[in-house]
Structure 1
Amino acid sequence: MSSAQQLLLTAIRCDIDNLTHLAITADIVGDISHFIHMLQRERGASTIYLASQGQRFNTRRNTYRQHSQQAETLMRQRLEALSQEARPQAAARLLRRIAAVWYALDELGSLRHAIDTFAISPDAATQAFNQLTSGLLAIVFEAADTSIDPDITRTLVAIFHLMQGKELAGQERACGAFGFTHGHFDNAHRDLLNQLVRDQQRCFDTFVEFATPEGQQVWQKELSPRTLSGIAHLRDIACQRTSTTSPTVEEIPDTLSETWYELTTLRIDSMKRVEEALISQLSLVCHRKITQAKDTLADAKAQPCQTPTAPCEQLLALNDTQPLGELTVNALTSPLGRSLIELTQAQAGRLQGLSDELENTRKALRERKLIERAKGLIMAHQEMSEEEAYRFLRKTSMDQSKSMAAMAQTILDLSTMLKRKEEKRSH
């Protein structure tokens, strides 16, 4: 066997090793997804337990804690396998993320004891759970960032943003549970609730952008309009302000906490099913590519050494195999290429950051103008106050899974179209 053939076989074996590691990473992402889901349940139940001074959700919290501990055990076993590899395939950054989370996991027992003894406030307990979940999501982010296969990378990016959006939905559940259990929302929790809703939408928009058509279909199938409508209604109640035409904040019944918890849990469980479908797809893609690479290796071993039939045939074939333009692109996207242009990218990144900040400001101003114009139309045609028009626009955008700016543009476009029809009729 020639040196060239040996190098080719070695390259294929490296591809198989990398793909095998990605398959293991997919399994780790699945375990992290399951553990986060259990933590989210425990966090929500713990919030209600603390806010009610132990009067509610004690049994449910204990059950969820047991589920979290079981999921943690399975996840730790999977992560330990990486540390036991003789020559780890995982990138150093990924291993450092896992090590940091490992230390945080050791503090879970202290957090649970503080909740048992009411030695921590509901907000502080929620924040502690949030920090741990953020660390777990960072592992998924590093897995996506270090993947070298474009198909697998896109799927990992979609999964990461779905998990991030789902985590924000879990934080919203905990925030809402706190307010509804108390029977009112102060300004801080009201603002937090609104911020979490906006941040979720950005995550889900990115998820849809990167998800496969199959993943997008699962997403649309799992979303329940009835559940979303119920949550939107409770969001409106949570964000209402004291006025002469609406109930005072003290009149919000605390029994709504369980209704809120059940509805948001239904929504989060739907997201979990989408997560599971995507992770299953990711695993299938990894194993299919491993099989293809093994078949390529078997074919390469079976082929005898071939002598070129014409002078310089192999030399001339180099350009056919990979044109210079494509070679340049691949060089720029390779790990070595990225290292060589790192300083240039850092400078360009700073300049781009300033440009992005300016563009974001302009975009925010444009969106604010759209919303103000749409709000004016709603006030004129529906005889609503400014606050009522704003709530109506916000609820409609949530019901239709649109941003408020996009919903405002739709209303303005519809108004223009109706005016044109009226003008035609009058002529």
Structure 2
Amino acid sequence: MTPAERLLLTAKRCEIDDLEHLTAACDIVGDVSRFVHALQKERGASNVYLASQGQRFAERRHERIDECMATEQALRVRLDALGDTAGRPATTARLLRRIAYVWHALDGLEALRSDIEALQTSPDDATQAFNQLVSALLSVVFEVADTAGDPEVTLALVAIFHLMQGKELAGQERACGAYGFTSGGFDDAHCQLLLHLIDAQQRCFDTCLEFTTEEGRQHWQREMPSRTLAGIQQLREMACGITALPKSASPLGETWYELTTLRIDAIQRVEAFLIGELSNLCLAKTLDARRSLTHHDDLRRELSDASPAVCQQLVELFDGSATHELGEVTARVVGSSLNRSLVELMRAQAGRLEALSDELENTRRALRERKLIERAKGLIMAHQQITEEQAYAFLRKMAMDQSKSMAEIAQTVLGLADILQPLPGEKKRDHATG
């Protein structure tokens, strides 16, 4: 084996190591997906239970808790294993920090369930607690997508992340609607929240479908239940005041819960399909890299293909001009139709790689900007004691007033983090006056 082949072989082994650890990180996405789905169902059942003062969904809520605990245990095992891979290529400090936050939040679930069981918390407060945990879980998926080095894997993760985020918003819509219908009506705050959730989740689904495969888009079309969607739309119109609520709206809480659950279960099946595609992609890339280790002829061929012939180098340097002092032979080689076709092929390949690189960079930029905006929202919410929707509206208004992007405004807000941190003992500001 030549020195060049040994070097390429070592590069292949490094590539396999990277892919194996990326696969381990991607496996977490599947566990997070299953746990979040179970957690979302527990949140919805808990809302009906609380809104009915414990009269409804008591038994169903316990079934959801059992399901949650099973998926939670599987996730803990996976997260604990990833924590042992510190320093590996697919494990970053940010990802490990996110996992630590998730683990801490999981430890608070038992106390939340006890408060719900004893009716010692409100539906809104319980929903907020569940939302924070789900948000921490989704941030793990975000970090996996943000740190993946393979372009195809990154695009698949971006699609999955947006689908999971959209499904979480759909779950929050289910919880909000379950509370409103079960309690007999919607006030302005819950009506506005419902409208925001409907709009935000659709944007997430549109982004997912933009980045996923054609097979993924077709699977989405097949899974969406048209009759269920029509029933949900009817109830949405009642909740938002477009059509009148019946005098006794309380039984609609269970109808709403069942219909929205059917829709979320359908989204979960699409999510599982995309995660399956991701697993197959990682496996195929790993197997392909491993196969090349035992085929030395492939290594030689790869080395030969990667090194452009002399005539191709001359074409790049001199653009095919025969007027340079290259001699008649070189001029004939450069001008031949065969060489021209090879050059055009190389340029076409380079163009495709550049386009893919641009698309990947745009995706990474969008992820970075989303992260800035989320951090800025959290800072504003903590300082002003306002809701997430109000914080987002605040950022958006600042961006419009100053003719800047949301990301630029978010960066400015984060630059003032030390000033905006609430002082110890500072009283919370009243929502109405803040």
Q: AA paired with 1:44?
A: G
Instruction: Output aligned runs, 1:320-359, within 5 Å.
Output: 358=403
Change (3 A) 1:322 1:111: farther
Q: AA paired with 1:295?
A: R
Q: C-alpha displacement at 1:314, in angstroms?
A: 9.4
Q: C-alpha displacement at 1:302, in angstroms?
A: 8.0
Q: C-alpha displacement at 1:139, in angstroms?
A: 0.7
Q: C-alpha displacement at 1:48, in angstroms?
A: 0.6
Q: Which residue of 2 aligns with 1:11?
A: 11
Change (3 A) 1:357 1:198: farther
SS in 2 for 1:251: coil
Q: Which residue of 2 aligns with 1:111?
A: 112
Q: AA paired with 2:263?
A: R
Q: Which residue of 1 aligns with 2:162?
A: 161
1:261 paired residue among 257, 261, 283 = 257
Q: Which residue of 2 aligns with 1:271?
A: 267
Q: C-alpha displacement at 1:222, in angstroms?
A: 0.4
The reply to whether residue 298 of structure 1 matches residue 316 of structure 2 is: no
Q: Matches of 1:330 and 1:136 in 2, distance apart? A: 29
Q: AA paired with 2:118?
A: T
Q: AA paired with 2:104?
A: Y
Q: C-alpha displacement at 1:8, in angstroms?
A: 1.6
Q: Matches of 1:82 and 1:314 in 2, distance apart? A: 48
Whether contact under 8 Å (2:399, 2:405) holds in the other structure is no
Whether contact under 8 Å (1:159, 1:207) holds in the other structure is yes
Q: C-alpha displacement at 1:56, in angstroms?
A: 0.3
Instruction: Output aligned runs, 1:135-154, within 5 Å.
Output: 135-154=136-155
Q: Matches of 1:153 and 1:356 in 2, distance apart? A: 35
Q: Which residue of 1 aligns with 2:36?
A: 36
Q: Deviations over 1:8-60 (max 9, x none)?
A: 22211111111112222222100000000000000000001111110000000
Q: Which residue of 2 aligns with 1:222?
A: 223
Q: AA paired with 2:231?
A: G
Q: Matches of 2:33 and 2:9 in 1, distance apart? A: 36
Q: Deviations over 1:239-292 (max 9, x none)?
A: 117xxxx74x68242000010000000000000000011111111111011111
Q: Matches of 2:211 and 2:223 in 1, distance apart? A: 18
Whether contact under 8 Å (2:174, 2:260) holds in the other structure is yes
The reply to whether residue 80 of structure 1 matches residue 76 of structure 2 is: no
Whether contact under 8 Å (1:184, 1:252) holds in the other structure is no
Q: Which residue of 2 aligns with 1:210?
A: 211
Q: Structure 2 unaligned runs (5+)?
A: 317-342, 373-397, 407-434
Q: Matches of 1:106 and 1:52 in 2, distance apart? A: 27
Q: Matches of 2:177 and 2:198 in 1, distance apart? A: 12
Aligned residues: 338
Q: Matches of 1:154 and 1:172 in 2, distance apart? A: 27
Q: C-alpha displacement at 1:305, in angstroms?
A: 12
Instruction: Output aligned runs, 1:44-55, within 5 Å.
Output: 44-55=44-55
Q: Deviations over 1:62-106 (max 9, x none)?
A: 010010010000011111111223742312211111111111111
The reply to whether residue 288 of structure 1 matches residue 289 of structure 2 is: no
Q: Which residue of 2 aligns with 1:412?
A: none
Whether contact under 8 Å (1:45, 1:61) holds in the other structure is yes
Q: Deviations over 1:183-225 (max 9, x none)?
A: 1100000000000000011001101100100000000000111
Identity %, equivalent residues: 51
Q: TM-score with structure 1 length normalisation? A: 0.71
